[in-house]
Amino acid sequence: MDATQPRLTSLAHGGGCGCKLDPAILRGLLADQPMGGPFERLLVGNETSDDAAVWALDDRTCLIATTDFFMPMVDDPHDFGRIAATNAISDVYAMGGRPILALAILGMPVGKIAPETVAAILKGGASICAEAGIPVAGGHSIDTPEPIYGLAVIGTCPREHVRRNRDAKAGDALILTKPLGVGIYSAAIKKEALPTGGYAEFIASTTLLNRVGAVLAEDPDLHAMTDVTGFGLLGHGLEVARGAGLGLLIEADKVPLLPKAAALARDGFVTGASHRNWTAFGESVALPEGFPDWRRHLLTDPQTSGGLLVSCEPEAAESILARIWQAGHPTAAIIGRVEEGPARIRVLANG
């Protein structure tokens, strides 16, 4: 990075999926918005908290459409572009689809960032799209006070492979495909306090495509799927619970974490979004007695380009987990189950 240029993160008041609106505020904003309306081909709209819209092209094939963009959580422009693109494409995979093209969304503070920096952001995003096998077919750019980048992504999916976050069944096993701690690492990055090796761990996780979702969706034993992003594991888990009208049990000791996440959380590297998340939905979560705040923050930590939360038949959980490992997600783990009861989350822990 050019030393004469300001740090990208210094130009933004937030970064990554931590930029999301407070979930309580978002629910209020959407409460009075019209639903999808009487469109027979609109299979998934804004009536639920799914990751993307789904439109039936015919009786066999669906179109999946999504958009995601945010402000930088890292200072390297190429890495920022890669992370933002990976995150945006994830929504298609989370619905069981495969991406076919992307459009760039770009907002830059003209005069504050060098053109070369902006070009590096775009190249970073394009490199991930190339890895996913799709073109960046166009886009739109504006002058904004803070740097913003992301994608609108279009994908396709056989109708029977569409996976929603509301179709979990009582008794299902819950699998998380990526470790938590991205927001905590981001807080340390912003304060230039991330330990040696941490940045490589951070980039490896946030730029790993969730393409395994499209493969898993072919399995009828997989009932529901969503990606874990700005509302953290508990927030997106609650979306699954509320959609299905069931409870979730999460075993905190089994939840995978980035290697330095627990230590950083103990040292107070927590994002404001983690606090907002807990305030918004904490009343729907039952924590063990004496559960420390730093562990709670791991569960509400906003993930950028996080993993998939999968709900599947318990008998199939081990074989599905093995397929996830083989697809390049070695830390994926079975972290709990779906259970009868109100749409809440119970957290268990041994210590």
Residues designated as active site = 17
3 state DSSP class of 73: coil
Answer yes or no: is 91 a known binding residue.
Answer: yes
Answer yes or no: is 141 a known binding residue.
Answer: yes
DSSP letter at 350 equals -
Answer yes or no: is 181 a known binding residue.
Answer: no
Strand locations in the chain (E)? 42-44, 53-56, 61-70, 98-108, 136-143, 148-158, 173-176, 222-227, 247-251, 285-286, 308-312, 333-339, 345-348
Answer yes or no: is 79 a known binding residue.
Answer: no
Nearest residue to 183 via CA among 231, 131, 126:
231
Cα gap 150→101, rounded to integer Å: 13
Answer yes or no: is 51 a known binding residue.
Answer: yes
Q: Which residue has the tokens 């791991």?
A: 298
Residue 135's contacts (CB-CB under 8 Å, 6 or more residues apart) are 101, 102, 129
Answer yes or no: is 274 a known binding residue.
Answer: no
Answer yes or no: is 267 a known binding residue.
Answer: no
Query: How far apart are the two ends of the chain, measured CA to CA in Å?
Result: 43
Assign 3-class secondary structure to 232-272. HHHHHHHHHHHHHCCEEEEEHHHCCECCCHHHHHHCCCCCH
Longest Cα–Cα distance of the chain, Å, equals 58
Q: Which residues are annotated as a binding site for ATP?
A: 20, 48-50, 68, 91, 139-141
Q: Which residues are annotated as a binding site?
A: 20, 48-51, 68, 91, 139-141, 227
Q: Which residues are annotated as a binding site for Mg(2+)?
A: 51, 91, 227
